[in-house]
Amino acid sequence: MKKKNIYILVFLLIGNIANAQIWKDPNAKLDARVDDLLSKLTLEEKISYCGSRIPEVKRLGIPYFEWYGEALHGIIGWNCTQFPQNIAMGSTWNPDLMFDVATAVSNEARALKNTGSKEVMMFSPTVNMARDPRWGRNGECYSEDPFLMSEIARMFIRGMQGNDPKYTKTVTTVKHYVANNVDKGREKHHSYINKKDLYEYYFPAYKTCLVDEEATGIMTGLNGLNGIPCSAHDWAVNGVLRKEWGFEGYVIADWAAVQGLEVRMKYAKSQPEAAAMAIKAGVDQECFRNDKRQAPMVNALKPAIEQGLITEADLDVSVRRLLRLRFMTGDFDDPSLNPYSKIPASVMECDAHKKLALKAAEQAIVLLKNDNVLPLKKDTKSLAVIGPFANRCWMGIYSGFPNSKISPLDGLKKATSAKVSYAEGCDVLADADDDKKIAEAVALAKKSEQVILVVGNDESTSTENVDRKSLQLPGNQHKLIKAVRAVNKNIILVLVPSGPTAIKWEQKNIPAIVCMWPNGQEQGTALANVLFGDVNPGGKLSSTWFKSDKDLPDFNDYNIQSGRTYMYFKGKPLYPFGYGLSYTNFKIDNVKLSSEKVNPLEDLIVSANITNTGKIDGDEVVQVYIHDVKSSQKTPIKALKGFKRISVDAGKTRSVEIKLPYEAFAYYDTIQNQFMVEGGVFEIMVGSSSESIAETKSVKVKGGLVPAIKVGQKSGYFNARDENRKQKWDCIYSDKTAMNSSEKGKADGKEWLEYEITFVDPGFYVNTWEAELNFTSATKEAIVETSMAGAKIGSYTIMKNQLKLPIRIPIPPEYGKPVRLKVKTMHGEVNHHSIKIIPPGGKKPFVVTKVVAKSE
């Protein structure tokens, strides 16, 4: 009997072990947890992981999950802090600041997850090289230079993913791999690139993010590479990412790109074949959200298995990678075990984040010209603020919707006691009313002591699916500038561009020019601080600015050596790479090298002194370039290999040391398929821009191989002692009060009402939807303000007898959920009738008449 009981106990023990929920055990090894959960999923449940919307698994207690989030320079959502656009962050030349910004962004992402509002699968950063400023998404990337791009991007990854040894704060998805720099027709476009350019120019930033910083994911581009679609490119994904670099994270195809293998690229013969191609190439998932349909890849995978194109074991490889990330974010663990579950909802657009957004905006501003007219005098009597971007806080594409937005006009009004007047001047694009608006601007400029002219380009000329046709200012903006300049010479030109802009006439005729960029929600305050001298500008251009379109090669030419970027451009630029002025002067001297000869795998230390010879404290960016004096390869005229932004008090001198690892001297050998250093003499050039070189030193470098590295190993530029690798999520807060907003919840006593609207996913990315407010009556020049979820959208003046007011509603990616649009009467009296919603893509408009809430 006793023996029988032992058998029963053993049997029960074995049964319990067999049925054990290893995947729920936070102390079990990660791989064991992943394998256990994978074994419990049905084929259909596994397949569902290959799209953005993943259905719940009731029997396992796993809720619905959305693998989709945008965090380019702030979370796309309501009341999320919006930092300077990526091109602006690149112009700070400050990786440490990028870490702080990314920490704030990821904290807000976690706060939203902690409240059940969003997941933390983020499609960022964008590290496509800014090889041509006409690219519609040029503003999304940090630089035209692979080294500057890498150093800024690495700290974005570090800040977003956090430093906890077990849990990942947010999942980063580096995009768009690879060489997707033409947006119009990108779904059918192929980038033809030689191997040398790929490894030396297009690959480095991806490799830095994946190998050095161990980014969790990567997105393949909608384009093709050398005749093969990126989302089915076995060599680019399995060959380079997984085999060469040892990448074990997930790979997602851009929007419906797997479907596009058949439908647009004509590369596959059917959808099952397209899905099989993606899985075999190492692509795990297809980006696609729709309220009614799963991703095309999801629909095609079961037929692909049934037809024998792939096996369930092939699918398991991809699903295992996707499940692994959910464990890494802590999805299946008690929140008390995860330090990021402690991030409170109060951090959303909190005081510390807005202060950081202001600091970033100030550091991003680049002073392009100053004929001793800046900073502005505090006793200026009258100020005319003119231009299509003057009364608008344009933050760039892929922006969220903060509660607070400071336009240039807002910032200048708060900064001065002068009489500040405003005129739009013209539209961004040519408009029938432009001549009238220009005349109004000219009249205002005539009677004003000083003019601030704010111009640029926005999503109407440069965005996803829309490339710039020219580097010139669009519409009648140049005409506006010339007209105003004819009546008032006291002009400061402020640019809000998506990238390098051809302003040759303006450089010659306007006394001061400032590049502000799409500079986040605090841009107006930052601009005012710079213009009035409370902040000394120290930003530097992260791309070459050309004089005209004629300086650029063919848009579809991906050969970097055909005159692209400062590295190969032989003409005279309007403003060189790395350029930026200051209100003070700096002298760089006493440049020294740690050695006269560099042996294989040795570092070279470059040191220099930086003296502020002026009377104002300021920042300088010390830049180190190298040039191979005599090479058998075609090498750059010069190439950035080190930099440091440094603050120097007036009259003081500081020293700086910059490390150049052995790999800084390498080129990619296409015969041996590895990086090599060709022995010889290299020039080390130290200066304040690519053309302003203070001193040049020579060093002999011994030839040799640069060892290939994979995930788990590090490049020579990786700094394990960097303090950013030790910081916790709350490192950016001086105290707990900074994690709250001192401005939220303030009532102003104005009348308001709310409409409830459900927006349906149009199936493609749009920034805004068109709408129309309808009134039964309104007093002359009544003013209404619109907002959603507490985030202000815009303010509008209702003209005489106007009963229809066209507006635009910014849409975060939360389709299918009812949201409320608040309309507040700021001035006058308004009687509302309805709101007409006009969906994009030619879909039928609908009208909402019901008021769901209103002020008492």
Residues known to be catalytic = 254
DSSP 654-714: EEEEEEE-GGGG-EEETTTTEEEE--EEEEEEEESSSS-EEEEEEEEE--EE-----BTB-
663 contacts 715 by C-beta, under 8 angstroms: yes
Task: Please name the residue that has the structure tokens 């009544």.
Answer: 782
- Identity at 736, one-letter amino acid code: K
Provide the 10 A C-beta neighbour count for residue 730: 17
Residue-wise burial string across 274-290, b where 16 or more C-beta atoms lie within 10 A, e elsewhere: bbbbbbbbbbbbbbbbb
The burial class, CB within 10 Å (0-12 / 13-18 / 19+), for 815 is middle
Q: Which two tokens stand for residue 393?
A: 């806080």
Question: Using CA atoms, how far apart are residues 84 and 75, in angstroms rounded to an integer?
Answer: 12
Provide the token pair at 437: 């608006």
Q: Tell me which DSSP letter residue 626 carries.
A: E
Structure tokens at 652: 């003081």
- Which amino acid is present at 603? D
Closest to 182 (Cα-Cα) out of 147, 131, 148, 232:
131
Which three-class secondary structure state does DSSP give residue 129?
Answer: coil
Query: Which token pair is 820?
Result: 């409320």
Contact 536/649 with Cβ under 8 angstroms?
A: no
Which amino acid is it at 381? K
DSSP-derived letter for residue 49 is T
Beta strands 171-177 and 65-66, pairing class: unpaired
For 490-528, b/e burial (b = at least 16 CB within 10 A) is bbbbbbbbbbbbbbeebbeebbbbbbbbbbbbbbbbbbb
* Secondary structure (3-state) at 572: coil
DSSP category for residue 439: H
Strand partners, 681: 700
Phi and psi dihedrals of 446, rounded to 5? Answer: -60, -40
Q: Is 41 helix (H, G, I), strand (E, B) or coil?
A: coil
- For residue 589, the cross-strand partners are 609
CA distance 437 to 619: 39
Q: Is the dihedral of CA 380, 386, 391, 396 positive or negative?
A: negative
Under DSSP, the state recorded for 589 is: E
User: DSSP code of 614?
Assistant: S
Distance between CA atoms of residues 343 and 325, nearest Å: 20
Q: Which residues, listed in sequence order, are joined to residue 119 by a DSSP beta bridge?
A: none
